[in-house]
Copies of this chain bind each other. A is one copy, B any other.
Amino acid sequence: MSDTRQRIITATAELFRRQGYHGTSVKQVTEAAGAPFGSLYHFFPGGKEDLGDAVLRTSGQAYLELFEVIYDAAADPATAMTDFFDGAAAVLEETDYIDACPIGTVALEVASTNDRLRAATADVFDSWVAAVALRLESAGVERAAAAELAVTLIAAVEGGFMLSRAARSPEPMRIAGRSMRALVELALTNSVLGAPGRA
């Protein structure tokens, strides 16, 4: 990938985090990326929508990899929850509550206004849910329960970002993490109790 294209994507991801899709102009993007205005249309012929699609998918993949690193370094699935939510809370505090989910704000803005970008956010959320579900299942949670719990965990992350940013406090995100830890522990207990030959 060209350096300029990458700089444009990185700058846009940061602007989306801070001010969303509708609040970000292509002029702001090229200025923040230190790129000529015309270069945006060179790399993204469809303009802001093409750029938005690339940014959502690239940022979504990067955030997935961050989750995987944190999860796989944790002692157990329950600890992984508080590690991830506490880590997100710390980043919020360090970045003046700007560095939150890279796609959450845009997901709500485009849900009813741009179907291509809505589909991009849905694909990213699906990839996150699948990664979490796979890990919970590997840890012993029954498949259907793991799939459901994964959805709730991603919802809690997104809601935690919203409440923490609104309150300018890390507490909502930390609290959501403790609740998710409790849910993971409950799911592991239920799976052991429900497993054939163990009841």
Contacts and interface: CB of A to CB of B under 8 A. Distances in A.
Contact of A20 (B109, B118, B151, B160): B109
B154 A163 contact: yes
Contacts of A23: 22, 109, 113
Top 6 A-B pairs ranked by shortest CB distance?
A155-B159, A22-B22, A111-B165, A159-B159, A152-B179, A158-B159
A166 B111 contact: yes
Contact of A158 (B113, B148, B158): B158
Nearest to A20: B109
A178 B100 CA distance: 26
Interface in A52-100: 96-98, 100
A192 B160 CA distance: 28
B166 A19 contact: no
A156 B162 contact: no
**What is the interface residue range for chain A against chain B?**
35 or more
Contacts of A159: 154-160, 162
A108 B157 contact: no
A111 B97 contact: yes
Contacts of A148: 175, 178-179
A55 to B, nearest CB: 16
A176 B182 CA distance: 15
Given A107-B162, A162-B104, A163-B125, A112 B18 contact: yes
Given A19-B109, A98-B112, A155 B156 contact: yes
Interface in A1-36: 18-20, 22-23
